[in-house]
Amino acid sequence: MMIRAGTGWQYALADLSLILFLATASALAVAGSARQAAVPPPPPINAALDAEPVAIWSDAPGAPPLAQWLTRTAADSRLEVRVVVRYRAGGRDAAMADALRLVAAGGPRAEAARILVEPGERAGASVSLFYASEDAARAPSQVAG
């Protein structure tokens, strides 16, 4: 009986398996890089405007002063302050002045506030705290440094 090494079906199957593995790995690498290039990250301004508020303050009877509320509520430095003032027709200048008054009343925590003055059906003002981006909303140990 004569046995020849290296000419069995096992070698052919191993070669085909290796070829299939390499072809699959190559296809996945190409698909992964194409997917990453197709979806650009949103600009920071969109992330900030789409963020859900963490807390909202409005100038209502019984509300604490804005500076006191910000000091107590906005202890996390990742939270950003947004001042939103809505006005009815013809009240734009007064709304701008109201927004600046709120920023001044907010003290040092509101110095870098995002100010949004827009027309609306109901006039009014509010101050909200929000995370400006996904990275900011993660726990401090997860934020890339």
What average pLDDT does this structure show over 116-140?
75
Which residue carries 């001044």 as its tokens? 104
In whole numbers, what is the pLDDT of the chain averaged over residues?
79
pLDDT of 43 strictly over 80 = no
Cα 75 from Cα 62, distance rounded (Å): 22
**Which pLDDT band, with edges at 50, 70 and 90, does 42 fall under?**
low
Cα 74 from Cα 68, distance rounded (Å): 10
Q: What is the pLDDT of residue 49?
A: 60
pLDDT of 83 strictly over 50 = yes
